[in-house]
Chains A and B, each alone.
Chain A
């Protein structure tokens, strides 16, 4: 019998609000332990939570971006459990009335489009972080009360690779919406996986097994690559799987059972009495709607459609939003958006990367911390975007050769001078004067008996060597097409 996997993901994402969920403490990573705390996020006697409107806005925006419904009634509930990192020994979360529900994510997978339904994206609070020392333990509550959004998928995912692509698509959407910085290394995205297996063609779900403790998307993929065959092997051998929670060990690459259903927590959820239910108004929702941005996949598809870009270029602009934003207004003004894309991706991006690398080296030598590096961005280039358009136009009009254009670009990147000025200053205008090129061709033929003989013997490629010689003689200014024609005529004649 063939088996298939049924996978659902619960993805926790820290929102990038300025302050925490219920108090005014900073929501910032990396401060000294217990320096970003107050009576509220420490759970002192008598404190009350006041919901952070920015967090509600970002969660609702996420709902829109994930094609969710936004119910007109939502509320927070208390999830009761004792743990040293939980300041109140209950976590505020949205149990049965989440801020958003019933959406979906679409993404490219295996050459087509995949769709994973979203059960809900709800808001809750993060907990502190435990540290274990030789003889004792400590808790850092800086993270306690940071707004945490949980995005729950339906079990629509069927493989480890699909889970990986889903997570990447989700992350792109969250970055586009500006709701989270999604920095995995800072623990801003965390993932739990529910996976079961069943015979292909059946509908009934197998025993749901939850896997915890993956700290990267590739960790999720590896855990599933381990867990799915493990489950299939158990049932194939006649064994029975039971609902349980397993822990992924990234070092050994295996999952281990933590607890079974009988030991599942009873969280005793009940509505948070310290807060009023949430009832977003039309006006408020309209304000949030204004924040909706184009989704990554839609952007990629539009770039392919509107600017006739090849998929890899569109993918580049999808992944590098700033680069895409730089490209798009230029593309709209150009008769050859593809050429503009080439310049932006192959030349501009390359030059900028090179410059940034140099800046990093120089500044770290000056002892500047990585976080404080001042790197040039697309916004602080020395030349205006229109100059790039002008440069492409010069090449299009055959005013300068491609080789000359490279020189012009290097110069404008370095100095900010206009392409026209650089062309004039360096005398880079392409020579299309037939008489001048004829002379150069004669020189080239005279100086290259080898290639001439080869060409005449039928090796057409030998013309390139001669063309190259002409270009060299012209210092790159000769119109290469014209040079080719003249050489051909002379050699055949």
Chain B
């Protein structure tokens, strides 16, 4: 089935005109019709619009446009509901935006459209990307394609599940503390969080501005390299994006990893790590050694402070970022006798419990008298955490860890216990605080039930090429990425 193929496979078939973009898009739409009743990766999608884009791509193919000119021509790529797509709904998994339709394209969307992609669908997510299970969405839960009684991870749960269930060829998600890598691990696909500043955030509805990055979900590493190449680069509309040249990420996938050094941080081998996850990661480390990489024990001494630091910085920024959802200019409004009543009613009705919890936390840590003890201190610890990584990267080319401490957990299992939920991001959070790059790729399965396990590689700032090279070498020597979830097959 066309929807099961990778970008690399599809582009060569499209180029040969073996298949049309319309057939390909239709295959994805058919799969959505078949499985999304169970998976519910999509909040909404517009088949007619997707097919119209596919037809346009077919015209361009017929007119001789090449994949060198438009590397994603005709490839259906679905979008997390936090990214602005002109003319499409933008809800951020929340009720508060009501019937809001974005009047503009995010920069990554402009780039994908320029590359010829069929940009479609609104993928489910934790409300405003706040969560690790996609259970805080106002649009219902998303189910893990490997076991529909389990969560897909989050916050980009819809993005991960859609790729795992072959409902799209690839998707875009966002990662603030692990929101790409953790669901990628739990759904058995590839998820890449680029270095802060690598990809423009313009059009990404901010959760935590200094931590958010947009990245791809794909079926394999080569596709991730292709997509990253399209969405990366400096953007005059985002002054935090960096004018670092964008290398040819696909060309980096040469299998030459002999002599590269992989750091194994002792702080990450902690209690609470599921034995099957540990075994899979240990085996992956051995595999890397067998492929010629050198394994080096390293230390990231401030790891213990990462979760606390993250929940101060992220909530502080979120408390301001979400202030604009007030019912005055757009979105859902619940009227009141005066502005204050209008705000409290609108926000009271529009935001879910987790979002409210984080706004209150963030407001608290910024309050007069608490700022120095919390926010300022957290920023200092954040610098220490970043320095841990920069020091480590003086010794090693990348760091190898589990992506998440366990495989996918049951729906409802942690939703009543925020702290347990927060701890499911324990391995991914530091990467965002440090602003470095990270990727999750499949490294095995639990036995029963059969659930994917993710391996995380963390790379230097702007070290995505090395990260992808390492990930690709492992992937090509293991069978995991070829497995498909049985329950929805």
B and A form one assembly: yes
Judge whether A46 is part of the interface by a CB distance below 8 angstroms. Answer: yes
Could you give, for residues 272-309 of chain A, a 1 whenever the CB lies within 8 Å of some chain B CB and a 0 otherwise? 01111000000000000000000000000000000000
Q: CA A440 – CA B468 in complex, angstroms?
A: 109
Q: Known contacts A45-B97, A46-B202, A273-B209; is A84 also within 8 Å of B84 by CB?
A: no
Judge whether B104 and A82 touch: CB under 8 Å: no
Judge whether B240 and A88 touch: CB under 8 Å: no
Q: CA A215 – CA B237 in complex, angstroms?
A: 36
Closest to A43 in B: B324
Closest to B366 in A: A268
B313-354 contacts to A (CB < 8 Å): 316-317, 319-320, 323-326, 328-330, 339-340, 343
Interface size on A, residues (CB 8 A): 30
Judge whether A42 and B97 touch: CB under 8 Å: no
Q: Which of the residues A47, A49, A87, A269 comes within 8 Å of B329, measured between beta carbons?
A: A87
A32-48 contacts to B (CB < 8 Å): 39, 42-48
Q: Which of the residues A39, A268, A276 comes within 8 Å of B239, measured between beta carbons?
A: A276
B170-225 contacts to A (CB < 8 Å): 201-206, 208-210
**Inter-chain residue pair count (beta carbon < 8 A):** 102
Could you give, for residues 201-234 of chain A, a 1 whenever the CB lies within 8 Å of some chain B CB and a 0 otherwise? 0000000000000000000000000000000000
A residues less than 8 Å from B323 (CB atoms): 80, 82, 88-90
A residues less than 8 Å from B328 (CB atoms): 84, 139
Judge whether A44 and B104 touch: CB under 8 Å: yes
Q: Which of the residues A49, A50, A78 comes within 8 Å of B320, measured between beta carbons?
A: A78
Q: CA A44 – CA B204 in complex, angstroms?
A: 11
Q: Which of the residues B97, B239, B339 comes within 8 Å of A50, measured between beta carbons?
A: B239
Judge whether A270 is part of the interface by a CB distance below 8 angstroms. Answer: yes
Judge whether B326 and A82 touch: CB under 8 Å: yes
Q: Known contacts A84-B339, A89-B323, A276-B239; is A46 also within 8 Å of B204 by CB?
A: yes
Q: Which of the residues A42, A46, A84, A268 comes within 8 Å of B363, measured between beta carbons?
A: A268
Could you give, for residues 376-394 of chain B, a 1 whenever the CB lies within 8 Å of some chain A CB and a 0 otherwise? 0000000000000000000
Q: In whole Å, how far is A367's beta carbon from the nearest beta carbon of chain B?
A: 39
A residues less than 8 Å from B366 (CB atoms): 80, 268-270
Q: In whole Å, how far is B134's beta carbon from the nearest beta carbon of chain A?
A: 19
Q: CA A47 – CA B200 in complex, angstroms?
A: 11
Closest to A271 in B: B379
Could you give, for residues 41-69 of chain A, a 1 whenever the CB lies within 8 Å of some chain B CB and a 0 otherwise? 01111111111000000000000000000
Q: Which of the residues A45, A87, A266 comes within 8 Å of B205, measured between beta carbons?
A: A45
Q: Known contacts A47-B202, A88-B324; is A273 also within 8 Å of B317 by CB?
A: yes
A residues less than 8 Å from B433 (CB atoms): none
Judge whether A39 and B324 touch: CB under 8 Å: no
Q: CA A50 – CA B107 in complex, angstroms?
A: 14
Judge whether B202 and A48 touch: CB under 8 Å: yes
Q: CA A48 – CA B210 in complex, angstroms?
A: 12
Q: CA A180 – CA B368 in complex, angstroms?
A: 34
The binding surface of chain B is classed by DSSP as: loop
B residues less than 8 Å from A80 (CB atoms): 319-320, 323, 366
Closest to A267 in B: B368
A residues less than 8 Å from B239 (CB atoms): 48-51, 274-276
User: Max chain B CB contacts within 10 Å: which of A39, A266, A268?
Assistant: A268
B residues less than 8 Å from A141 (CB atoms): 329
Closest to B340 in A: A82
A residues less than 8 Å from B201 (CB atoms): 46, 48
Could you give, for residues 72-83 of chain A, a 1 whenever the CB lies within 8 Å of some chain B CB and a 0 otherwise? 000000101011
Q: In whole Å, how far is A391's beta carbon from the nearest beta carbon of chain B?
A: 56
Closest to B331 in A: A45
Q: CA A276 – CA B241 in complex, angstroms?
A: 10
Judge whether B83 is part of the interface by a CB distance below 8 angstroms. Answer: yes
Q: CA A290 – CA B202 in complex, angstroms?
A: 35
Interface size on B, residues (CB 8 A): 44
Judge whether B368 and A50 touch: CB under 8 Å: no
User: Max chain A CB contacts within 10 Å: which of B104, B316, B329, B343?
Assistant: B329
Q: Known contacts A48-B202, A82-B323; is A39 also within 8 Å of B103 by CB?
A: yes
Judge whether B90 is part of the interface by a CB distance below 8 angstroms. Answer: yes
Q: CA A255 – CA B274 in complex, angstroms?
A: 69
Q: In whole Å, how far is A53's beta carbon from the nearest beta carbon of chain B?
A: 11
A residues less than 8 Å from B100 (CB atoms): 45
Judge whether A46 and B205 touch: CB under 8 Å: yes
B108-132 contacts to A (CB < 8 Å): none
A residues less than 8 Å from B102 (CB atoms): 44-46
Judge whether B368 and A45 touch: CB under 8 Å: no
Q: Which of the residues B106, B319, B326 comes within 8 Å of A46, measured between beta carbons?
A: B106
Judge whether B92 is part of the interface by a CB distance below 8 angstroms. Answer: yes
Judge whether B409 is part of the interface by a CB distance below 8 angstroms. Answer: no
B residues less than 8 Å from A83 (CB atoms): 339
Q: Which of the residues B84, B92, B103, B371 comes within 8 Å of A270, measured between beta carbons?
A: B371
Judge whether B367 is part of the interface by a CB distance below 8 angstroms. Answer: yes
Closest to B343 in A: A82
Judge whether B238 is part of the interface by a CB distance below 8 angstroms. Answer: yes
A residues less than 8 Å from B87 (CB atoms): none
Q: In whole Å, how far is A78's beta carbon from the nearest beta carbon of chain B?
A: 5
Judge whether A45 and B92 touch: CB under 8 Å: yes
Judge whether B375 is part of the interface by a CB distance below 8 angstroms. Answer: yes
A residues less than 8 Å from B363 (CB atoms): 268
Judge whether A50 and B329 touch: CB under 8 Å: no
Q: CA A80 – CA B239 in complex, angstroms?
A: 21
Q: In whole Å, how far is B192's beta carbon from the nearest beta carbon of chain A?
A: 21
Q: CA A46 – CA B324 in complex, angstroms?
A: 11
A residues less than 8 Å from B320 (CB atoms): 78, 80, 88-90, 268, 270
Closest to A45 in B: B205
A residues less than 8 Å from B83 (CB atoms): 46
Judge whether B418 is part of the interface by a CB distance below 8 angstroms. Answer: no
Q: In whole Å, how far is B108's beta carbon from the nearest beta carbon of chain A?
A: 11
A residues less than 8 Å from B238 (CB atoms): 48, 50
Q: CA A42 – CA B103 in complex, angstroms?
A: 12
Q: Which of the residues A43, A46, A90 comes within 8 Å of B203, measured between beta carbons?
A: A46
B232-259 contacts to A (CB < 8 Å): 236-240
Q: CA A45 – CA B104 in complex, angstroms?
A: 10
Q: In whole Å, how far is A258's beta carbon from the nearest beta carbon of chain B?
A: 16
Q: Which of the residues A44, A78, A268, A270 comes within 8 Å of B330, measured between beta carbons?
A: A44
Q: CA A274 – CA B201 in complex, angstroms?
A: 9
Judge whether B104 and A39 touch: CB under 8 Å: yes
Closest to A270 in B: B366
Closest to A85 in B: B328
Closest to A272 in B: B209
A73-115 contacts to B (CB < 8 Å): 78, 80, 82-84, 87-90
B residues less than 8 Å from A48 (CB atoms): 201-202, 237-240
Q: In whole Å, how far is B177's beta carbon from the nearest beta carbon of chain A?
A: 15
Q: CA A42 – CA B330 in complex, angstroms?
A: 10
B residues less than 8 Å from A89 (CB atoms): 320, 323-324, 326
Judge whether B84 and A45 touch: CB under 8 Å: yes
A residues less than 8 Å from B202 (CB atoms): 46-48
Judge whether B204 and A273 touch: CB under 8 Å: no
Closest to B330 in A: A44
Q: In whole Å, how far is A427's beta carbon from the nearest beta carbon of chain B?
A: 70
B residues less than 8 Å from A49 (CB atoms): 239
Q: In whole Å, how far is B242's beta carbon from the nearest beta carbon of chain A?
A: 10
Q: In whole Å, how far is A48's beta carbon from the nearest beta carbon of chain B?
A: 5
Judge whether B367 and A268 touch: CB under 8 Å: yes
Would you give 11 A-B contacts (Cβ < 8 Å), ordered by A?
A45-B325, A46-B90, A46-B205, A47-B203, A50-B236, A50-B237, A84-B326, A139-B329, A141-B329, A270-B366, A275-B239
Known: A45-B84, A89-B323; 4 extra A-B contacts, CB below 8 A, are A45-B90, A45-B92, A273-B240, A274-B206
The 4 closest A-B pairs by CB, nearest first: A89-B323, A273-B209, A268-B366, A273-B210
